[in-house]
Amino acid sequence: MAAHRPEGPPKLLGVVAEYETPTALVHAAEKVRDAGFQHWDTYTPFPIHGIDPAMGIRPTRLPWIVLCAGLTGLTTAALLQWWTNAVDYPWVISGKPFLSIPASVPVYFELTVLFSALTALGAMIVINGLPEPHHPLDLKERFGRATDDRFFLYIQARDPKFDESATRALLESTHPEDLDDVMEDQSSPAGLPRPLVIGLAALVCAAIVPFVLFVQARQTMTDQPRIHMVPDMDFQLKYKTQKASAFFADGRTVRPQEPATIAVGQLDEDEHLHHGRVEGEYARTFPSALPVDEAAMKRGQTQYDIFCAPCHGLSGAGDGIVSRRAQDKEQSMWVPPTNLTQGYLRRMPVGQMYELIGKGVRNMPAYGPQISIEDRWRIVLYVRALQRAGNATIEDVPAAERGGLN
Ligand code: HEC
């Protein structure tokens, strides 16, 4: 790479032969191959069938290198997913395993492809000995036809088999159009151009900067975003919901609602129907606005099977499929769904159960947004039926039907 300029007369670098047809070149290549040369090459304006075997070129190692890179990428992705999701910051999402292969597939895929692609490019460049800013043959005027209509074969003098007269004689015997010595080029500077070297070195140094920033970011504390390159409209003279206000006397940005304000569609007049209460107490009866009949029970069953059974089980015993899966996985954080047929829930006022469906209770999420008011009541109705069925005794079965039971 250094601009080292050789002393003395120019050295012989090799011998180049020129042919008129691809066939002549292929035959010549076979001879050179059989003579056991290693440092030689052919140059043609277009790809020539059969030149690879004629030159004794072995299949490239590139696929193996890329395979290793791909496997490295896959392993890296697997370790990354395991470390970030299961060790360093475990992701607690009810019932889901910390280390989930399906959820990690995109990452596995991306890193495999990324490592393979970059390695394919880099290894191709290295194996081909690139970049090669100038080549001894560049100076041969006749060699320009290598991109046009002539076929060249170049044997390098550094080849152990190279012998000036013997190699010339070998090439003569292949009947080339022209045979020429390739001498060392002493006119143009050796190695890469200096500005390019400096530019590349600067890029390599610049590539270290992000890592220095990562380390710095891990060591220091700030309440500002560290890098805010495009501020857009992030900083404005405006109030944000939970921030303090110097303007209002109570210091709050969010203004309290005017008493008795009702949003459109939220009149909810019927205390019994909408809030499950009668005179402030949890209702013990179903609201009169809602018929309690077989249709309501059927509707309650379908809605229960959709919204509640996954956790509480089809019979209300608390053994829904989600819960069983969590228990199979031995998830320590899992709170099992309650058995709905047990005593205190049989005594729970229907109004209270209606309310907890809408608002959720402790670890159970709220289903108000998904289930209409009427359907919440119908689900309570169906839960009542499950409770009776789950605690039935022989006395509950009509005498005429007892014969079928054992
Ligand atoms: C995602 C799982 C899940 C679903 C779906 C679910 N529940 Fe629950 N439910 C729970 C869990 C967990 C508890 C226990 C909560 C606790 O103790 O922290 C619970 C508790 C309850 C209780 C007992 C509350 C108490 O005060 O002890 C009732 C009643 C109940 N659920 C009814 C329902 C009904 C009705 C539905 C369908 C609309 C439903 N749940 C849907 C998980 C679920």
Which residue, judged by its Cα, is nearest atom 18 of ligand 1? 363
Distance, CA 193 to ligand 1 centroid (Å)? 74
Distance, CA 281 to ligand 1 centroid (Å)? 22
Q: What is the mean pLDDT of each run of 10 residues along the chain (406 residues)?
A: 59 92 95 92 94 91 96 97 90 80 94 97 92 81 91 93 91 92 77 87 96 89 76 83 89 89 87 93 94 96 96 94 88 88 94 96 94 96 94 84 72
- Ligand 1 in contact with 353 (CB < 6 A)? yes
CA angle 348–350–356, rounded 5-degree value: 80
Q: List Cβ<8 Å contacts ≥24 apart for 39-42.
A: 39/155, 39/156, 39/158, 39/159, 39/162, 40/14, 40/153, 40/154, 40/155, 40/156, 40/159, 41/153, 41/154, 42/151, 42/152, 42/153, 42/154
Among 315, 364, 371, 376, name the best residue to mutate to test ligand 1's pocket (greatest count of ligand atoms within 8 A of Cβ): 364
pLDDT in the model for residue 383: 97
Distance, CA 56 to ligand 1 centroid (Å)? 74
Burial of 170 (C-beta count, 10 Å sphere; 0-12/13-18/19+): buried
pLDDT in the model for residue 133: 76
pLDDT in the model for residue 1: 43
pLDDT in the model for residue 5: 53
- Ligand 1 in contact with 307 (CB < 6 A)? yes
Distance, CA 273 to ligand 1 centroid (Å)? 21
Which residue, judged by its Cα, is nearest atom 21 of ligand 1? 338
- Ligand 1 in contact with 364 (CB < 6 A)? yes
